[in-house]
Structure 1
Amino acid sequence: MQVVCLCAEWCGTCRDWRPVIDALARAHPQVRWRWLDIEDEADLLGDLDVETLPTLLVGRGDRVLFFGSVLPKAELVKRLVESLATQEHAAAVDGDVAALWQRLR
């Protein structure tokens, strides 16, 4: 499973969020964690418009399991990741999100 945090350096909430994501990555080494700055890596996003920061993209294999904004609270993300760890069904996402996931795999 991979968790991608879509953020921006200019966003104060995202800057506060980064150490939380780093701590979660250390606590859950079985999960691949990635910080993706939506401005620095805008070409990778393609036509996807991220409206709310921070936004998480979680997937496994060729399936997106979750895409959405999250409150920057470690316990919420921990529970989300744990609940998705056994999920087999893909989330309903639009084509731009699916295309981004394919580029990130």
Structure 2
Amino acid sequence: MPVPAKEAEFLVACLCAAWCGTCREYAPGFEALKDRFPDAGFVWVDVEDESDIAGDVDVENFPTVVIQRGHDVLFCGPMLPQARLLERLLETLLTQTADESAAYARGTAERLAWQGLADIRSRLG
């Protein structure tokens, strides 16, 4: 049984829109990753219908993905709509220790800027 997204150590959020054809095509591959990573929580966020969850994340292209470990944002940005790319990124991030993830989340000015701004977990109901 999948872990509820808000409770999972790793949260993977896809920020999309119902009207977006690319998002609709990407959805099955994103959903399939739930089986591949049962300990991660996956959530699909429609940026128009759930703007309170998307918050101030600047979604310029679809899909935009946010990956968190706890409240640390490890990735926030557009991704080519290929589930294999997300799968490879997750495989890499899941090998980090908690300390490595915390350091990684604050390792560049860009990643430091994501903290708080892209904290999807804190906005989930």
- Shorter-chain TM-score: what band? 0.7 to 0.9
Q: Which runs of 5+ in 1 are unaligned?
A: none
Task: Give the aligned partner of residue 54 of structure 1.
Answer: 63
Which 4+ stretches in 1 moved above 6 angstroms?
none
Give the SS at the match of 2:34. Answer: helix
Task: Give the aligned partner of residue 11 of structure 2.
Answer: 2
The code of the aligned residue for 1:102 comes to S
Pairwise CA distance, 1:50: 1.2
- In the aligned structure 2, how far is the partner of 1:2 from the partner of 1:47? 18
Pairwise CA distance, 1:101: 4.4
- In the aligned structure 2, how far is the partner of 1:62 from the partner of 1:28? 19
- In the aligned structure 2, how far is the partner of 1:61 from the partner of 1:47? 19
Mapping 1:46-85, distance limit 5 Å = 46-85=55-94
2:35 paired with 1:15: no
Give the SS at the match of 2:117. Answer: helix
Pairwise CA distance, 1:22: 0.7
2:43 paired with 1:34: yes
- In the aligned structure 1, how far is the partner of 2:12 from the partner of 2:55? 19
Task: Give the aligned partner of residue 102 of structure 1.
Answer: 122
State TM-score, norm by structure 1: 0.87
Aligned length: 104
Q: Which string of whole-angstrom CA distances, capped at 9 and with x for unpartnered residues, describes residues 66-92 of structure 1?
A: 001101112111100011113312133
Task: Give the aligned partner of residue 54 of structure 2.
Answer: 45
- In the aligned structure 1, how far is the partner of 2:40 from the partner of 2:56? 27
Give the SS at the match of 1:97. Answer: coil
- In the aligned structure 1, how far is the partner of 2:78 from the partner of 2:17? 13
Aligned CA-pair RMSD: 1.8
The code of the aligned residue for 1:41 comes to E
State TM-score, norm by structure 2: 0.74
Percentage of identical aligned residues: 46
